[in-house]
Amino acid sequence: VDDAAALAARVLTGDTRAVAKALSLVEEGGTGVEALLRQIGAERRASRLIGFTGGFGAGKSTLVEAVGACLLERGERVAVLAVDPSSPFTGGALLGDRIRMNRLASGGGFVRSMATRGALGGLSGAAGEAIAVLEAAGFDWVLVETVGAGQDEIDIAAEVDTVVVLLPPGAGDDVQTAKAGLLEAADLLVVNKADQPGADGVVAALEGMVALGTACDWVPSVLRTVARTGEGVEALLEAIESHQRHLDGSGRRDALRRTRRRRRVEALVAELAVDLVRANDPAAWTSTLDAVAAGELDAYTAARRLLAAIGRRA
């Protein structure tokens, strides 16, 4: 706890080495991160939290780098968090080369790739804690991007204030079948690689979708960018700022923050309950899971039995 207090104090001064260390703790999970987050919890400041989501081929990394570079030029403090949801398979492998982020890092931006831990804490848990660290460190902007095979767009959307959904040229057909989910998640819709064939079709499909929507207070704009050349990036940043002003003006930013905090408690109750049940009687845990694995016991009965055991304790 003394270590956690010292680290928290350094994070709060914006010390980037301390921030990097704190993010490693978040990545590892466990008691280290709990102590740290208890220390910085109350001190949390408010960064502008922008999420960038979208599937393969949309060019997320390049666009995030371009937006980040724009902000750095204005003298803003910028952190990029690239979340890799592939780690449930490897148990924590970091991304290899994030070469395309070089420009940002060398320009004074803080760039961090981060694996998520296991299925239960999940992407949103780890990303949410990482964001808490970056907010405590006083970054003006935190740009969150998912990379890898999994695109937990919804999870990330829940952790940020402004959700930018990227679509690749040629995705027109898919827009038709997924309009509900897209409209719900997106604050801004961006067709990146807008100089490539098929971009017009996607823009048209998105504009049609937005026109049909029943959004009451915020209507997502449809933008075109070519992140590679920087085309449209300033306009995107203006649209992001416009959405941020909307959040401030409507009280929506505060509402989002409160909702995230509530959800975090629920997720932690779930996560810590599993730890408690396992630690309560490791032998029972193992034998119960073995029985379920062998098909001798159903999962619900097993879970109820394990939970009843911690209720009987005390």
44-73 positions binding its own copies, by CB under 8 A = 44, 53-62
Cα 283 to its chain centre, rounded Å, is 36
| Site residues (CB under 8 A) for its own copies, limited to 90-149 | 90, 93, 95-98, 100, 119-120, 122, 124, 147-149
| Site residues (CB under 8 A) for its own copies, limited to 272-311 | 272-274, 276-277, 288-289, 292-295, 298-304, 306-307, 310-311
Nearer Cβ to its own copies (158/236): 158
CB of 74 to its own copies, least distance (A): 27
Q: Is 86 near its own copies (CB under 8 A)?
A: yes
Residue in 262, 279, 282, 287 binding its own copies, rule: CB under 8 A: 262
Note whether 32 and 40 are within 8 A (CB).
no
Note whether 172 and 197 are within 8 A (CB).
no
CB of 158 to its own copies, least distance (A): 7
Residue in 34, 76, 140, 231 binding its own copies, rule: CB under 8 A: 34
Spatial distance between the Cα atoms of 169 and 31, rounded to a whole number of angstroms: 45
CB of 178 to its own copies, least distance (A): 5
Task: Indicate left, alpha or beta for 80 from its phi (over 0: left) and psi (-120 to 50: alpha).
Answer: beta
Nearer Cβ to its own copies (75/314): 314
Spatial distance between the Cα atoms of 83 and 146, rounded to a whole number of angstroms: 5
Note whether 53 and 157 are within 8 A (CB).
yes
CB of 175 to its own copies, least distance (A): 7
Nearer Cβ to its own copies (17/312): 312
Spatial distance between the Cα atoms of 193 and 197, rounded to a whole number of angstroms: 9
Detail the DSSP E strand segments found in 9-140: 48-53, 78-84, 110-115
